[in-house]
């Protein structure tokens, strides 16, 4: 016969100072909690981005306003160029189909601006071509052109080129008809000066398609027609 189960007494024995011999379970410790700063740092980054964006917008508005004010105040106009005269000093054909030429070309540069001047650099070039073949070349002088000014630039161009028989015959035919097409190509570095403040240098390209009546040395050459095309740093402009 099994032993009877032990029953827990429904009382607690106290010691001499009336305290229980049974210790209560240890108190539950609170785990320290640390507040995360992730939310605050994320909000701070958004504020910085927003402030930078607002500053950039204000800067763009101020810059655009300044450019518009300068444009309205100065009323800038493009300089104008044309070939004023074309003289032939030498035009000699050799039996080996080589051609020696010397031209004296006068280019008229007109600056209609009041408060804008131009500084022409030294690394310029002027080329005269016939039917995609170079006849002669030279360069513009370096100079400063003030506002409301017209300057006549005289350029002496020399060159020796090898012409085939076909090209030489075509040139002779044009000389007989009195209509010789030529292409004058001007390439010049120019710095724009606003009052007394120079801006960055730009490269100006001017292509002038001329038709002259003759290329005889020491004879007056008449320019029958001319067409001009302009480009700044490779960007073509319609004139």
Write the pLDDT tens digit of every residue in 13-29: 555 455 555 555 555 55
**pTM for this prediction:** 0.68
Nearest residue to 185 (alpha-carbon basis) of 139, 153, 221: 139
Confidence at residue 164, expressed as pLDDT on a 0 to 100 scale = 72
The pLDDT tens digits of the residues spanning 193-233 come to 988 888 888 899 999 999 999 999 989 999 999 999 988 77
CA 23 – CA 234 distance, rounded (Å):
95
pLDDT reported for residue 74: 65
pLDDT for 113 beyond 80: yes
Averaged pLDDT, 152-158 = 96
- pLDDT over 90 percentage in the chain: 44
Residue 145 and residue 191 in contact, taking contact as beta carbons nearer than 8 Å: no
């Amino acid at each position: 016969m099994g032993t009877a189960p032990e029953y827990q007494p429904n009382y607690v024995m106290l010691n001499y100072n009336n305290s229980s011999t049974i210790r209560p379970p240890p108190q539950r410790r609170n785990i320290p909690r640390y507040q995360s700063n992730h939310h605050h740092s994320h909000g701070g980054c958004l504020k910085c981005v927003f402030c930078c964006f607002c500053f950039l917008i204000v800067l763009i508005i101020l810059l655009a306003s300044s450019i518009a004010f300068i444009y309205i105040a100065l009323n800038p106009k493009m300089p104008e160029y044309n070939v004023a005269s074309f003289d032939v000093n030498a035009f000699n054909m050799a039996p080996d189909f080589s051609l020696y030429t010397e031209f004296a070309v006068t280019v008229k540069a007109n600056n209609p601006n009041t408060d804008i001047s131009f500084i022409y650099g030294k690394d310029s070039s002027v080329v005269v071509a016939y039917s995609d073949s170079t006849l002669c070349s030279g360069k513009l002088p370096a100079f400063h052109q003030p506002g409301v000014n017209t300057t006549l630039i005289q350029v002496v161009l020399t060159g020796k080129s090898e012409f085939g028989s076909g090209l030489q015959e075509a040139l002779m035919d044009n000389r007989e008809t009195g209509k010789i097409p030529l292409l004058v190509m001007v390439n010049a570095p120019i710095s724009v000066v606003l009052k007394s403040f120079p801006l960055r240098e730009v490269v100006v390209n001017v292509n002038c398609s001329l038709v002259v009546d003759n290329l005889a040395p020491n004879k007056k050459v008449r320019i029958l027609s001319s067409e001009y095309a302009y480009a700044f740093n490779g960007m073509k402009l319609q004139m």
